[in-house]
C-alpha cells in the first residue's frame, strides 16, 4: 500500500461525514486561521473573516454515512485521513478565491463551487483584534506573496507539516506548481528582514492579529443604513408613481443625484483629530511627522475635513484612489493627526498622518467641469528627519508643490545631471508650501533629474543639508552616498549626497532613478565600493552599488560600472542587479561583481571587483583565474560564461551579486 502524502490527501476525501464534522468542530479555530491567512489581501478584513468561516463550514465532504466505517486511530507517524481531507478542502477553497471571474462577488465562491454561504452578518463589521508592529510587518510580507505561498508558509509554520507533506497537500488542492510555492514560502522569513523566525514566527501566527475567531465588532454606518431604508421607501414610491404615470401616458422627472459623500459617515470626526502645537518640533527627541503642526488656511473648515475623512473611510464611486505598494487602505484610526488643510492651485487639499501612513485628499475648488476627488495613501512608519522632511501637496503639468517640515530652514533645487552647477533658491511660504518644482522624468529620455536640497534648522541637533527627489509616492525619497574605501570615511557609513564627490557619482547613475518609480522607495544610497586601473592604460573605473530601500524593508540593487574616459554625465553601465535583497546595506556589507570590457585595441577582458573585506577573487567557467586582492582583470572571450566568487578576510566565500542584465 502506498504511504505517500499524495494518497493520504486524496483518499482522505472519502471519509465519513461524522468524522469530518468532528474534525471541523475540534479544530475549528486552526482551520479558520489557515483560511484567513491564505485568502487574498484584496478582501477587507471583515470580508476575510466571513469568507474564512464560510469556507471551513463548507469543508464537509459529500454524504457517505451509509458506507462509513468505524473510525480507528491514525497510524503512528501518519496524518489522520479526516484531518488531511478537511485541511486540503479548506486550502483548495481559499486558493479558489484568486481564480474567480472578474467582478464576481467577494463573499461568493467561484461559480463551479457555488452553494449557499454562511455566516451572513448584517449591520456589523468584524475585525480581528489588532496586534503589534511585528504582526503588522508579517501580515504585510504575506500580502506580497502569492496565495499558494501563503498557504505553504502557514502549513509549515503553524500546522507543523514537513516540506514533502506541504507539496502533497498543495497538489491535492490543485496548485499547479507546489514546489515553487514552497520555495517562495521559505523565502518569506528572509523577505521580512530576519526579524521573524522559528518559534517567534509561530507565536506571531497564533496572535490575535490573525485570529478570525476572536473578533471585535462595530456597527456599519448607521446614518447610511437609515438613508438607504428611506431611499428604498422613496424608490418604491417612485416606482408606484411611475407605474401610475405610465398608465396615463405622463412621464415623471427622475430625482436629483445625491452629493458625492452624502450618507458616508467617517470613522472619526474632525474634532477627534490630533493637532500638534506649532513649537513642538523644536523641543522633542522624536523629529518626524508626529512633530508636524496642523497648517493651512482651512484647518478650521470642518466640512472640508469631514469630506476628506469620509472619503478615506469609504471612497465614493468615481474617486481616484492611489495606494502605494505594501500600504493598507484601512479607515482612519483614532490616532489620526491633521497635518494640512488649504487651497493649492485648483484644489482643496487635506493631509493626514496616522502613525503608519500619510494620506492626501484633494477635491476641485470649482464645480464647473471639475474632476473627481482624489485620495492617495503612502507608508511613513519609522520616518526621520530626512524621510519626514516634506510631503507632496500637488502634481500638475509636470510640476510638484511640497509641504516642508517645520524644521526645514532652507530649500534649493538642483539638477543631478549637472553636478558642477550650484543649487537654485526655492521659495517657501510661511506655511511651508514650496513653489512649483520640476518633476523627474518617467522611464525613457533622461535629460535632467531635478531634486530638492533641504537644510534643517539649527534648533535641532541634526543640522545638515540633504537631497530628496520624487519617485511617485507622497513622501519624497532620500538620496545618500557612501564614498570609496580609503577616503577616511567609516566602513559602509552613508553620508549626505551634497559633496562634490557625491554629486559627480550621482550624475553618472541618476538616470536609473525613474526605473524605481512607484516601488514604495524610502531611500536610495549610492555606494562606490571599488576602483580599478583598467588594462592597456585604459584609465580608471569605479564600481558602484545603488540600493533602493523600501518602506516595507526589502530593497533592490543595481551594480554599475563607470570609467574615467567617459563624460562626466555619461550613464554608468549596469552590470548586475538583484531584487528583494539585503545586499549593499548594513545587513549585506560585502559585494563582488564582474563585467566584460573591451580595450581601445579591441581586446576583450573580464573585470571583477569586490568591497573592502575581499581578499581574493576566483573566476571559473570559460575563464579560469584566481587573483589576490580586491580587483581582477583577465583576457577573455567577448561575453564569457563564467562564475565569479570572492573570499573574505574571515575565510567566508561570497558569490557575485544578482545577475547581469540581458545584453
Peptide bond into 119 cis (omega under 30): yes
pLDDT of 223 strictly over 70 = no
Higher pLDDT pick, 194 / 140: 140
User: Do residues 304 and 416 share a domain?
Assistant: no
Burial class (CB in 10 A: 0-12, 13-18, 19+), 289: buried
The 10s digit of each residue's pLDDT in 20-39 is 788 888 888 889 888 888 88
Residue 532 sits in the same domain as residue 611: yes
* pLDDT above 80 (res 287): yes
Domain end among 217, 232, 256: 217
Q: What per-residue confidence (pLDDT) applies to 413?
A: 97
pLDDT value of residue 193: 45
Co-location of 206 and 228 in the same domain: no
In a domain, 617, yes or no: yes
Report the number of distinct structural domains present in the chain.
Answer: 4
Tell me which residue of 499, 405, 403, 392 sits closest to 460, measured CA to CA: 405
Give yes or no: residues 31 and 145 share one domain. Answer: yes
Residue 322 lies in a domain: yes
Are 59 and 86 a contacting pair, CB within 8 Å?
yes
In a domain, 258, yes or no: no
Please indicate, yes or no, whether residues 443 and 592 belong to a single structural domain of this protein.
yes
Q: Is residue 262 part of a domain?
A: no
Evaluate if residue 279 carries a pLDDT over 70.
yes
Whether residue 626 sits in one domain with residue 515: yes
For residues 84 and 164, membership in a common domain is answered with yes
Q: Could you tell me which residues are beta bridge partners of residue 403?
A: 391, 433
Rounded to 10°, the helix 147-157/163-172 angle is 140
Residue pair 58/105 in contact by the 8 Å Cβ criterion: no
- As a whole number of angstroms, the distance between CA 354 and CA 274 comes to 9
In a domain, 447, yes or no: yes
Where do we find the cell 554599475?
560
- Do 45 and 161 have their domain in common? yes
Directed axis angle between helix 17-26 and helix 28-38, to 10°? 80
The alpha carbon dihedral of 372, 373, 375, 376 has a sign of positive
Cell matching residue 263: 450618507
Q: What is the pLDDT of residue 364?
A: 93
Contact 654, 646 (CB under 8 A): yes
**Domain termination residue (choose one: 383, 400, 417):** 383
- The rounded distance, in Å, linking the Cα atoms of 149 and 185 is 5
Bridge partners of 455, per DSSP, are: 410, 465
First to last CA, the chain: 54
Compute the distance between CA of residue 218 and CA of residue 643 in angstroms, rounded to an integer.
59
Judgement on whether residues 212 and 228 belong to the same structural domain of the protein:
no
Residue 124 belongs to some domain of the structure:
yes
Lowest mean pLDDT among 112-116, 577-581, 607-611: 112-116
Q: What is the pLDDT of residue 3?
A: 35
Are 24 and 56 in contact by the 8 Å Cβ rule? The answer is yes
Domain that holds residue 355: 270-383
Cα torsion at 139, 140, 146, 149 (round to 10°)? Answer: -40
What three-state secondary structure class fits 392?
A: strand
Are 617 and 570 part of one and the same domain? yes
Q: Looking at residue 154, what is its pLDDT? A: 87
Asked if residue 663 is part of any domain, the answer here is: no
When pLDDT is cut at 50, 70 and 90, the band that residue 73 belongs to is: very low
Confidence of residue 320 (pLDDT cuts 50, 70, 90): very high
Closest CA to 359 of 412, 396, 321, 387: 321
pLDDT tens for each residue of 145-202: 888 888 888 888 888 888 888 888 888 888 888 888 888 888 776 555 444 445 677 7
Sequential DSSP letters for 315-354: PPTT-EEEE-TT---PPP-TT-EEEEEEEETTEEEEEEE-
| Same domain (yes/no): 481, 377 | no
Give 387-422 pLDDT, tens digit per residue: 999 999 999 988 999 999 999 999 999 999 999 999
Q: Output DSSP code: residue 224.
A: H
Q: Is the pLDDT of residue 326 over 50?
A: yes
> C-alpha grid cell for residue 194?
530576519
Is residue 443 in some structural domain? yes
Q: Is the pLDDT of residue 57 over 60?
A: yes
Rounded distance between C-alpha atoms, residue 441 and residue 470, angstroms: 10
For position 132, what pLDDT does the model report?
Answer: 67
**CA–CA gap between residue 537 and residue 236 (Å, rounded):** 88
What is the C-alpha to C-alpha distance for residues 50 and 305, in angstroms, rounded to an integer? 32
Ramachandran category for residue 318: left, alpha or beta (phi over 0 → left; psi -120 to 50 → alpha): left
What pLDDT is recorded for position 254? 37
Residue 456 has pLDDT above 80, yes or no: yes
77: pLDDT confidence band, cut at 50, 70 and 90? very low
Task: Say yes or no: 144 and 34 in one domain.
Answer: yes
Comparing 358 with 131, the larger pLDDT belongs to: 358
Which of left, alpha, beta for 553 (phi over 0: left; psi -120 to 50: alpha)?
Answer: left
Amino acid at each position: 500500500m502506498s504511504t505517500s502524502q499524495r494518497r493520504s490527501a486524496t483518499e482522505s476525501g472519502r471519509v465519513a461525514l461524522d468524522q469530518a464534522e468532528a474534525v471541523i468542530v475540534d479544530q475549528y479555530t486552526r482551520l479558520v486561521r489557515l483560511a484567513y491567512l491564505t485568502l487574498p489581501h484584496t478582501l477587507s478584513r471583515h470580508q476575510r473573516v466571513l469568507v474564512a468561516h464560510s469556507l471551513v463550514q463548507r469543508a464537509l465532504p459529500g454524504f457517505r454515512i451509509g458506507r462509513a466505517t468505524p473510525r480507528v486511530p491514525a497510524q503512528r507517524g501518519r496524518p489522520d485521513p479526516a484531518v488531511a481531507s478537511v485541511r486540503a478542502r479548506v486550502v483548495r477553497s481559499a486558493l479558489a478565491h484568486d481564480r474567480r471571474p472578474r467582478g464576481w462577488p467577494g463573499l461568493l465562491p467561484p461559480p463551479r463551487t457555488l452553494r449557499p454561504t454562511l455566516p451572513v452578518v448584517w449591520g456589523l463589521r468584524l475585525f480581528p483584534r489588532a496586534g503589534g508592529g511585528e504582526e503588522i510587518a508579517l501580515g504585510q510580507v504575506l500580502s506580497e506573496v502569492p496565495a499558494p505561498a501563503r498557504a505553504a508558509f502557514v502549513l509549515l509554520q503553524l500546522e507543523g507539516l514537513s516540506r514533502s507533506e506541504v507539496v502533497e497537500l498543495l497538489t491535492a488542492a490543485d496548485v499547479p506548481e507546489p514546489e515553487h510555492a514552497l520555495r517562495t514560502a521559505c523565502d518569506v522569513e528572509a523577505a521580512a528582514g530576519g526579524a521573524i523566525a522559528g518559534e517567534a514566527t509561530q507565536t506571531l501566527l497564533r496572535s490575535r492579529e490573525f485570529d478570525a475567531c476572536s473578533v471585535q465588532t462595530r456597527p456599519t454606518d448607521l446614518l447610511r443604513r437609515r438613508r438607504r431604508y428611506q431611499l428604498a421607501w422613496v424608490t418604491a414610491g417612485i416606482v408606484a408613481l411611475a407605474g401610475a404615470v405610465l398608465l396615463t401616458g405622463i412621464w415623471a422627472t427622475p430625482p436629483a443625484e445625491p452629493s458625492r459623500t452624502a450618507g458616508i459617515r467617517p470613522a472619526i470626526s474632525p474634532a477627534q483629530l490630533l493637532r500638534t502645537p506649532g513649537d513642538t518640533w523644536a523641543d522633542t527627541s522624536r523629529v518626524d511627522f508626529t512633530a508636524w503642526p496642523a497648517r493651512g488656511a482651512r484647518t478650521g473648515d470642518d466640512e472640508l475635513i469631514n469630506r476628506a475623512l469620509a472619503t478615506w473611510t469609504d471612497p465614493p464611486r468615481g474617486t481616484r484612489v492611489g495606494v502605494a505598494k505594501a500600504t493598507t487602505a484601512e479607515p482612519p484610526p483614532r490616532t489620526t493627526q491633521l497635518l494640512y488643510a488649504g487651497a493649492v492651485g485648483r484644489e482643496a487639499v487635506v493631509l493626514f498622518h496616522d502613525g503608519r501612513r500619510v494620506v492626501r485628499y484633494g477635491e476641485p475648488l470649482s464645480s464647473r467641469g471639475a474632476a473627481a476627488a482624489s485620495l492617495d495613501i503612502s507608508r511613513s512608519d519609522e520616518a526621520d528627519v530626512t524621510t519626514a522632511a516634506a510631503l507632496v501637496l500637488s502634481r500638475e503639468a509636470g510640476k510638484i508643490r511640497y509641504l516642508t517640515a517645520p524644521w526645514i530652514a532652507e530649500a534649493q533645487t538642483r539638477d543631478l545631471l549637472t553636478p558642477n552647477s550650484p543649487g537654485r533658491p526655492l521659495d517657501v511660504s510661511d506655511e511651508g508650501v514650496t513653489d512649483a518644482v520640476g518633476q523627474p522624468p518617467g522611464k525613457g529620455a533622461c535629460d535632467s533629474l531635478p531634486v530638492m536640497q533641504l537644510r534643517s534648522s539649527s534648533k535641532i541637533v541634526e543640522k545638515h543639508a540633504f537631497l530628496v527627489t520624487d519617485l511617485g509616492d507622497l513622501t519624497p525619497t532620500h538620496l545618500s552616498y557612501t564614498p570609496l574605501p580609503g577616503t577616511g570615511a567609516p566602513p559602509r557609513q552613508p553620508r549626505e549626497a551634497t559633496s562634490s564627490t557625491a554629486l559627480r557619482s550621482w550624475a553618472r547613475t541618476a538616470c536609473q532613478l525613474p526605473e524605481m518609480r512607484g516601488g514604495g522607495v524610502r531611500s536610495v544610497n549610492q555606494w562606490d565600493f571599488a576602483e580599478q586601473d583598467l588594462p592597456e592604460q585604459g584609465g580608471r573605473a569605479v564600481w558602484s552599488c545603488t540600493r533602493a530601500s523600501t518602506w516595507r524593508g526589502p530593497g533592490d540593487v543595481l551594480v554599475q560600472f563607470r570609467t574615467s574616459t567617459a563624460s562626466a554625465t555619461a550613464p554608468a553601465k549596469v552590470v548586475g542587479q538583484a531584487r528583494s535583497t539585503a545586499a549593499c546595506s548594513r545587513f549585506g556589507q560585502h559585494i563582488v561583481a564582474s563585467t566584460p570590457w573591451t580595450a581601445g585595441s579591441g581586446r576583450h577582458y573580464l573585470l571583477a571587483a569586490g568591497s573592502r573585506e575581499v581578499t581574493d577573487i576566483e573566476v571559473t567557467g570559460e575563464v579560469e583565474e584566481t587573483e589576490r586582492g580586491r580587483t581582477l582583470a583577465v583576457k577573455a572571450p567577448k561575453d564569457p560564461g563564467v562564475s565569479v566568487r570572492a573570499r573574505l578576510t574571515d575565510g567566508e566565500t561570497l558569490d557575485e551579486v544578482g545577475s547581469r542584465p540581458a545584453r
